[in-house]
Amino acid sequence: MRVMVMVKATKDSEAGIMPSPELFEAMGKFNEELVNAGIMLTGDGLKPSSQGKRVAFDGPNRTVIDGPFAETRELVAGFWIWEVKDMAEAVEWAKRCPNPMPGPSELEIRPFYEMADFADVITPELAEQEERLRVKLADR
Amino acid sequence: MAATDIHQTIETVFRIERARLIAGLARMLRDVGRAEELAQDALVTALTDWPKTGVPDNPGAWLMAAAKRRAIDGIRRDQMLARKHAEIGRDLEDARDTSVEAIEAALDDDLGDELLGLIFTACHPVLSAEARAALTLRLIGGLTTDEIARAFLSSEATIAQRIVRAKKTLGKARPAFEVPRGTDRRQRLASVLEVIYLIFNEGYAATAGEDLIRPALCAEAQRLGRILAGLMPDEPEVFGLLALMEIQASRLAARVGPDGSAIPLPEQNRARWDGLLIRRGLAALERTEMLGGARGPYALQAALAACHARARRAEETDWHRIAALYDTLQEVTPSPVVDLNRAVAHSMAYGPEAGLALLAEIDAAGRLRGYAPLPAARGDFLFRLGRHADARLAFEQAAALSRNEREKAFLLRRAAACG
């Protein structure tokens, strides 16, 4: 299963404080372990929300809101995408991560939707529609 | 923490550490079977100790130390028995190999590539490809015998026997449990890559509705490929195979219709292709080429897959490049099926006459007789040339040869469409 592991923002990350060389090194080592275990697909860090924007929707209306955003703990400062066997494995790997922030911090693990999750959403009508389209394409 | 929670945690930690643990033990003892037993014993010890002490900071080292203690106890007991049975003379060689001192020394060694050593041992060419696949899934993938049996549509007894026999064969061959160097290396690596791709294809061949363990083999093979790429960052064919698997796997969701039937590549909904896997595949292919491996068989197949992956719509496919890649593939790994695919690629790049000319070469060589895709391709080329009567005959011939009902129906539809 594929999961996104989000590094939650803190006051420090929102202030744009760069990680120490020690943390950089520890994080590099952890990333190497993830790669060698074959579970790391990708990952990146995000700039503070002061450099971000939001587009708010309300019916037909669109409002652009400039960062920074107030609710620091709900913001994301970075992420990985891992391929793991189950959530328990993701949790164990997350526990091995060096604390990504100088102060207390949090990782949040969220599984991706997979094809099987849509089995109930795909109605027989939708399936039939797709099948018709496919036959048409095949006969073209 | 509740007892079940801590047990689940311990089993998950063990699952993460298991392959490395077995690898380290196998390297010391030169015995995969014993290594696997000792690893299992270490898990039992952890399940007793950790609920009291908590999970140690370095669980891998803890498990290794526990297994090592058991190994040394076992050897002392064996040596005593050996002396009792007055077989010291005969066993001296072996005893020296696996003495307590040797194990202690091995432990102090830098065993950074021990997992790699285990992969090479499980994929040793003295074993059949099926045995290598089963042993690799068991030792490195951590699958149970039952899971492997279900994955390969086989019985648990068959797989269990296959694994036991493989371990016995390895016991006799006494491989070094190391990453081979020198002239041996290329052949041994080919043996590893072959097994990983075999596992991948077994998963890829699975159809909808089958046991989920089968499609999971793709993920297992990709994981093995990624591990190998992490441990052998300068080996071009490792990245060639990884690129091939990542790109092929990117289409898994798009290649099966709601009724479970296979959807051919040009008709797949490309929006359902997995962009992350495509990017990873293209990056791996780039690395292969950078390492000078562009002509490797896996790299060439990955490059072919990449041509499709790069095209946003089927019409944008770079058929000239595909035709050129098939020309190279024909030189590197000649086979009649490559010839046929090459003819199709040339027909797409340079027109149906070019395709027909290449089919004539295959005919002249007397190859692929009775192989339905050959007349099917000829029918397609003739149809595109407007020679509808000839095309119909070719499609009917293909339909008569096909053993797949769905394919047969498709070919008959194409024959009927020729008028």
A130 vs B258: CB contact, 8 Å cut-off? yes
- Contact of A115 with chain B, judged by CB distance below 8 Å, is answered with yes
B16 vs A92: CB contact, 8 Å cut-off? yes
Cα dihedral sign for B331, B333, B334, B337? Answer: negative
Both structure tokens of B27: 């390297």
Residues B227, B131: one domain?
A: yes
Minimal Cα–Cα distance from B362 to chain A, Å?
27
Residues of A in contact with B263 (CB under 8 A): 134
Vertex B304, ends B299 and B309: CA angle to 5°?
A: 115
- Contact of A91 with chain B, judged by CB distance below 8 Å, is answered with yes
B257 vs A39: CB contact, 8 Å cut-off? no
Minimal Cα–Cα distance from B94 to chain A, Å?
33
Q: What pLDDT, on a 0 to 100 scale, did the predictor assign at position B93?
A: 47
- Residue in A closest to B278 by C-alpha: A41
Count of domains observed in chain B: 3
- Pick the residue of A114, A134, A137 with the most B CBs within 10 A to test the interface with B by mutation: A134
A89 vs B410: CB contact, 8 Å cut-off? no
pLDDT digits (tens, 9 = 90+) for B212-256: 778 889 999 999 999 999 999 999 999 999 999 999 999 988 888
Residues B121, B173: one domain?
A: yes
pLDDT digits (tens, 9 = 90+) for A97-110: 999 999 999 999 99
A2-114 has which fold? Alpha-Beta Plaits (3.30.70)
A85 vs B15: CB contact, 8 Å cut-off? yes
pLDDT digits (tens, 9 = 90+) for B94-153: 544 555 555 555 554 444 588 999 999 999 999 999 999 999 999 999 999 999 999 888
- Pick the residue of A92, A125, A129 with the most B CBs within 10 A to test the interface with B by mutation: A92
CA distance B62 to B49: 11
Q: Which residue range(s) make up the domain with B162?
A: 112-232
Among the partner-chain residues B8, B13, B257, the one whose CB lies closest to the CB of A134 is B257
Residues B69, B31: one domain?
A: yes
- Name the domain boundary from B232, B258, B275: B232
Residues B71, B30: one domain?
A: yes
What are the distances in angstroms from CA B34 to CA B21, B23, B383? 12, 11, 63
B259 vs A127: CB contact, 8 Å cut-off? yes
Q: What pLDDT, on a 0 to 100 scale, did the predictor assign at position A118?
A: 66
Q: What pLDDT, on a 0 to 100 scale, did the predictor assign at position A126?
A: 64
Is it the case that residue A31 has pLDDT exceeding 70? yes
- Contact of A89 with chain B, judged by CB distance below 8 Å, is answered with yes
Residues of B in contact with A81 (CB under 8 A): 276
B267 vs A37: CB contact, 8 Å cut-off? no
B12 vs A122: CB contact, 8 Å cut-off? no
User: What is the largest distance, in Å, between two alpha-carbon atoms of chain B?
Assistant: 88
- Contact of A117 with chain B, judged by CB distance below 8 Å, is answered with no
Is it the case that residue B92 has pLDDT exceeding 50? no
B393 located within any domain: yes
CA distance A57 to A64: 9
A138 vs B280: CB contact, 8 Å cut-off? no
CA distance B397 to B404: 14
pLDDT digits (tens, 9 = 90+) for B55-66: 998 999 999 999
- Contact of A88 with chain B, judged by CB distance below 8 Å, is answered with yes
CA distance B418 to B379: 10
B293 located within any domain: no
Q: What pLDDT, on a 0 to 100 scale, did the predictor assign at position A123?
A: 59
DSSP state, B22? H
Residues of A in contact with B230 (CB under 8 A): 32, 35-38
DSSP secondary structure, A27-72, as one string:
HHHHHHHHHHTT-EEEEEE---GGG-EEEEEETTEEEEEES--S-G
CA distance B34 to B68: 12
User: Of residues A36 and B96, which shows the higher confidence score?
Assistant: A36
**ipTM higher than the 0.95 cut:** no
Residues B74, B9: one domain?
A: yes
Cα dihedral sign for B211, B222, B307, B352? Answer: negative
User: Of residues A140 and A95, which shows the higher confidence score?
Assistant: A95
List Cβ<8 Å contacts ≥24 apart for B364-372: B365/B336, B367/B336, B367/B339, B368/B336, B368/B337, B368/B339, B368/B340, B370/B401, B371/B336, B371/B340, B371/B401, B372/B398, B372/B399, B372/B401, B372/B402, B372/B403, B372/B407, B372/B411
Residues B103, B150: one domain?
A: no
Q: What pLDDT, on a 0 to 100 scale, did the predictor assign at position B108?
A: 47
Cβ-based contacts under 8 A for chains A and B:
64
- Pick the residue of B16, B224, B395 with the most A CBs within 10 A to test the interface with A by mutation: B16
Say if residue B258 is preceded by a cis peptide, omega within 30 of 0.
Answer: no
Minimal Cα–Cα distance from B365 to chain A, Å?
31
Minimal Cα–Cα distance from B325 to chain A, Å?
26
- Residue in A closest to B8 by C-alpha: A88
pLDDT digits (tens, 9 = 90+) for B283-334: 999 999 999 999 999 999 999 999 999 998 999 999 999 999 999 999 999 9
Among candidate residues A52, A102, A107, A116, the one with its CA nearest the CA of residue A78: A107
Is it the case that residue A130 has pLDDT exceeding 70? no
B12 vs A88: CB contact, 8 Å cut-off? yes
Over chain A, what is the mean pLDDT? 88
Among the partner-chain residues A38, A41, A85, the one whose CB lies closest to the CB of B276 is A41
Residue B98 sits at φ, ψ, to 5 deg, of -120, 35
B70 located within any domain: yes
Residues of B in contact with A122 (CB under 8 A): 258
CA distance B197 to B104: 37
- Name the domain boundary from B108, B125, B154: B108
Vertex B14, ends B10 and B16: CA angle to 5°?
A: 120
Minimal Cα–Cα distance from A13 to chain B, Å?
27
Residues B99, B152: one domain?
A: no
- Contact of A87 with chain B, judged by CB distance below 8 Å, is answered with no
- Name the domain boundary from B175, B205, B232: B232
Among the partner-chain residues A36, A93, A131, the one whose CB lies closest to the CB of B257 is A131
A92 vs B253: CB contact, 8 Å cut-off? no
What are the distances in angstroms from CA B17 to CA A89, A99, B11, B60, B61? 11, 22, 10, 6, 9
B313 located within any domain: no
Among the partner-chain residues B8, B223, B227, the one whose CB lies closest to the CB of A88 is B8
B303 located within any domain: no
